Every structure is written in structure tokens, then in C-alpha cells.
Amino acid sequence: MLPAERLKGIEAFVASVDAGSFTAAAQRLSLTNSAVSKSVARLEDRLAVRLFDRTTRKLALTDAGAAFYQTCVRVLADLAEAESVLAAGRAEPVGRLRLDAPAAFGRMKVWPLLLQFAESHPHLHPHVSFTDRFVDLIEEGIDLAVRIGGPEHWPATLGHRYLGRERLIFCAGPSYLARHGVPASLDELVAHAAVLYGRADGSTSPWRIAHPDGTVERRTMQGRIVVGSGEAQVAAVQAGCGIAQLATWLVEDKLASGELTAILPELTTDGLPLNLVWPVGRQLQPKVAAVVTWLADGLRVSDADRSRQSSR
């Protein structure tokens, strides 16, 4: 077990790195700027190494500081986990919880689950944002985020729980298929009008084409319509504007009702991974741990779900 003396200054050091300055770290820790600065200075003296290159504008980690930071994050995470495991069994989720989720997935899938949880835990006060932009959880003070896509290896500053992968299926509206016919092969499919997801920089998401040998091709398409919203893509397809490749969670109800028709279901393929992500310092606070468990149970994509989605 580490002597208590070795832990002095670590919290102030990590907060300073995360916040970018002693002043911002002091606000997060409810300390004075001087207290944080002196705590980090004493830590450097004890370690006999410079952790920061200080300028008048910002703090920059030295190479030694960067390596030490990664170790400190793991140490604080382990301590938080050990304390929270004891507290989670007896503590009611209370206080504000900031959660961020992708716009369409958040409204359709996350929000109903969170409302159920909030109704059962009246002392929890969720503050929820729905956005498709990248959110820096630590910088923006987010307790928990739902991510579609993300790195293969998450940084040490973030904890995560893998939920599975979305499934992608081609679909069109009955009116479009009545006018243009149902494509019976990949060659016929790519000749049809495409409704694509586009980004502000002008790029579009390619279609993911599953081949019989198991390979997946990323094919760039020319879109008749390009729009930066999955819900708007669905509306365009319903209106008969073309064929889109969409996540099954986005269209499963409309496929079941007949408002949309699945095209070449054998081309259904994996999409992006789904994860719950949180800053490790808050990873098992009772309120965060409880919401992580609740959302993971409600959002997890099982093999049975995947088979059912693919057969529609």
C-alpha cells in the first residue's frame, strides 16, 4: 500500500493537467490558486523532477510529467473504484449528472431509459445534451457519454463499457420502389439514387458493403441527397427520394410497420461500436455507476438482437 505522503499533490497535479491551468484546477477542487500551485511544487520537489514547463500563457507537461500523469490517473481511478464499490451498495444516486449522447440515438434510445431511471430516483438531477459533435468529457465536465464509434483503445483518462455494434441495412420507401423497382443485386443497388449522411466539411459516409467472403468494402457513393442527420435521412427515404444505408435502431419500427422496406438484407453488416464512456475519476461514483448499469442493460446489443434485426 502506498504511504499517504506519496499521494499528496497527485490530485492537484492531475486536475491541473486536465484543466490546463492552476486557476482552473483550483476552481474544480474548491481550493485557492496558490494552494494548488504550492501543492504541485512540493510534489516536484519530493520527486526531484520538473513535471511542467511553465509559461505565462499555459502549462505544458514535460516528458517525465506526461509519464507520471498516466500513472497518477490509474492510481486515482483505483482509489475511486475501491471507495465507490463500498458506497455503491448503500448510496442512493443523488445530485446533478451531466450526460451527453448522439442526437438521434440519444432521443430515440437513451432518453426513454433515462426518464425511467429518473422517475425511480427523484434525488438525481440529469442534465442531458444531444449532439453529434465530439465532446471532451473532462474539459466540458461531462459525467457520462454515449458514443457511437470511437478509438479501438480508449485513453487511460476514460473508462468505457462496450455495448456491441450497430447493424446497417439498406432500405427504401414503397413509393420509390414502385417507381424504380427493387434492386436484386449489388450492381443494381449502386445504380439507384442514394441518400447519404454528410458532414459540415463536405465529406460523406461511404456505404459499407458486405461480401460473401466476409470482407467489408467501404464504397464512396454519389448522393442524390446528402444530409447531416440520421432522422432526416429516414424522412428522405420515406418521401421516396432514394435508398439509404441506415442503422437498424433508427429504422426498426418503420421496417416493422411497412413504412420502409429492407433491400438485399443479405448485405446487412456491422456498423460502428456503441460505448458508454466516462472520466475515470468519476467512474464508480454511485450516481454514475447506477446510470451506467441501467443504460448498459437497456442499450446492449446481444447476438439475439443482431440476428432478429438482420432478419427483418
d(CA 218, CA 222): 13
Contacting residues for 30 by C-beta, under 8 A, at least 6 apart: none
Residue with cell 507537461: 61
Residue with cell 454528410: 198
d(CA 170, CA 267): 8
Reported pTM: 0.66
Mean pLDDT for the chain?
86
Q: Is the Cα dihedral 124, 125, 130, 132 positive or negative?
A: negative
d(CA 18, CA 102): 24
Q: Cell for 307? A: 440476428
Domain 95-301 has CATH 3.10.20.740: no
Mean pLDDT of 69-91: 69
Architecture of domain 4-87: Orthogonal Bundle (1.10)
Above 50 in pLDDT, residue 303?
no
d(CA 49, CA 70): 16
Reported as a single tens digit per residue, the pLDDT across 25-59 is 888 888 898 988 999 999 999 889 999 987 766 78
Reported as a single tens digit per residue, the pLDDT across 233-257 is 999 999 999 999 999 999 999 999 9
Domain map (residue ranges) of the chain:
4-87, 95-301
Mean pLDDT of 186-209: 92
Go through 80-94 and write b for each residue having 16 or more CB atoms within 10 A of its CB, e for each that does not. Answer: beeebeeebeeeebe
What angle, 0 to 180 degrees and rounded to 10, lies between the N-to-C axes of helices 111-120 and 286-299? 130
Mean pLDDT of 94-114: 93
Mean pLDDT of 171-191: 95
Reported as a single tens digit per residue, the pLDDT across 119-136 is 999 988 999 999 888 888
d(CA 47, CA 69): 13
3-state SS, residue 76: helix
